[in-house]
Amino acid sequence: MQISRNHRTNQTFLQIKPGLFLSAILIVLLAMGGCVQPKHTAVDSAQRMLPMVNNPHLPEVIIALINQSDEQYFKHDLSAALATLERAVRIDPRLPEVWSRMAQVYLDQGKLEQARQHAKRSNSVLKNNMALKDFNDNIISGKPMESSN
């Protein structure tokens, strides 16, 4: 890095070689990337919530209810999150994503048996989503959850 002084205007300019400048920008961007957390990922229980599964067949009303329950869950309002998910199940009981989320909420409430029952129910209606099956199987077996992202 080299500092030069413009004698006409008495201003100081910082001159950086182009390669060094790009390296500095890259380092800053990489450092900032570590500060950004993707939605629905982290270490504590609120970050173990399942991300929205790529299911093009989810009705809009179910997506809205899942999003609402996720917001409640992240605010640690587990009772409200569970009530919202129960509404989604009443609309369509064949959606494994909803049953898995309910299992997660029960697990966070310390209700392991109910969590296991809901994870098993999710597996019973699950088709081809191995990540969701692994998530459910971890609840059923009592293994600790790992971040999915």
Distance CA 102, CA 69 (A): 10
Distance CA 14, CA 139 (A): 57
Its pTM stands at 0.64
- Find out if CATH 1.25.40.10 is the number for domain 45-141: yes
Distance CA 93, CA 20 (A): 58
**Which among 104, 99, 103 is positioned nearest to 44, based on CA atoms?**
104
At 112, list the tokens.
């392991």
In this prediction, residue 9 carries a pLDDT of 52
In this prediction, residue 15 carries a pLDDT of 53
In this prediction, residue 4 carries a pLDDT of 52
State how far the alpha carbon of 85 is from the alpha carbons of 4, 17, 39, 141, in Å: 64, 56, 19, 23
pLDDT at 5 over 60: no
Taking only the tens place, the pLDDT of each residue in 93-121 is 999 999 999 999 999 999 999 999 999 99
Taking only the tens place, the pLDDT of each residue in 6-45 is 555 555 444 545 555 555 554 554 555 443 333 333 334 4
Taking a C-beta distance cutoff of 8 angstroms, is the pair 102, 118 a contact?
yes
Q: How far apart are the first and last CA of the chain?
A: 39
pLDDT category, 57, cuts 50, 70, 90?
A: confident
